[in-house]
Structure 1
Amino acid sequence: MEHTLVNDELWQDFHTVVNMTSRELEDWLRTDAATEDTEALPDQAGSHLGRRVLEILGKRRRDLTPDDASVMRRVVDRVHGRRADDLEPTAGDETWRHGLMRIGHDPLRPVQTPRDRGR
């Protein structure tokens, strides 16, 4: 059995609340950061936390660091703090939705577990 810093529960919770693909999140961070006054570099678009989520999505579980695990817990806590525990699709206002999307969670999308996605 392989030793990892991220237990099964955190791995499952993170990949449940982060319901956007890495491509969708990357595209959203670039779109969200684009304004008339800014022309963010593609690798620097979006919030620091959103970019960290994107990095984590690109890693294998065994390659995660203690900082990655901390970010994963922060994202899970933030999503659950702003949502009902059932995570049913909810409209909410645009600012609220966009804030969640910056960390990879689209509240309009039905939540699937990693098992549902074929992981």
Structure 2
Amino acid sequence: MAAKTDDDQDTWREFKDAVNMAPAEIEKWLESDESKSVGAKSGGGESVGHHSGRRIVEILRAKKADLTDDDYAHMRKVVGYVHRHLAQRPSGDVTETPWRYSLMNWGHDPA
């Protein structure tokens, strides 16, 4: 495996900041009806965010030295999604909203 670049180190830090849920917490969330009720569906019927959540769990559980360029690309995608979505926070109580549920599929609980 090639040595990780400074960009990869920055990506790792940004990813760890954006993903504030533990792997087991994400897995439990992904099993919920609320998790499955949100997001744009891909060809197989699973939403893009739901699929991303499963990939996030894999990345979090992997040894950092084993992460691939594809893993780092996905981490950058997660960071971008979380930052964009947080900027669209609706007013009021967001506890039981599709906005929060979508973020949680991507490993971030804003509550």
Whether these two folds match at TM > 0.5 is yes
> Residue 8 of structure 2 contacts residue 72 of structure 2 at CA under 8 Å; is this kept in 1?
no
Unaligned 5+ segments in structure 1 are 35-45, 85-89, 109-119
Q: 2:66 is matched with which residue?
A: 63
Q: 2:108 is matched with which residue?
A: 105
Choose between structure 1 and 2: higher helix proportion: 2
Pairwise mapping of residues 21-32 of structure 1 onto structure 2 (< 5 A)?
21-31=22-32, 32=35
TM-score normalised to structure 2 length:
0.72
The answer to whether structure 1 residue 77 and structure 2 residue 80 are counterparts is: yes
> Residue 4 of structure 1 contacts residue 61 of structure 1 at CA under 8 Å; is this kept in 2?
no
Aligned residues: 91
Q: 2:51 is matched with which residue?
A: 48
Distance 1:91 1:3, change over 3 A: farther
The one-letter amino acid of 1:27's match is: K
Name segments (4+ residues, structure 1) moved above 6 Å.
none
Q: 1:95 aligns with which of 95, 98, 108?
A: 98
Q: Distance in 1 between matches of 2:4 and 2:28?
A: 30
Q: Distance in 2 between matches of 1:98 and 1:80?
A: 15
Match of 1:47, SS state, is helix
**How far off its partner does 1:55 sit?**
0.6
Unaligned 5+ segments in structure 2 are 38-48
Q: 2:21 is matched with which residue?
A: 20
Distance 1:66 1:94, change over 3 A: same
TM-score normalised to structure 1 length:
0.68
Q: Distance in 2 between matches of 1:8 and 1:67?
A: 15
Q: 1:10 is matched with which residue?
A: 11
Q: Distance in 2 between matches of 1:91 and 1:79?
A: 19
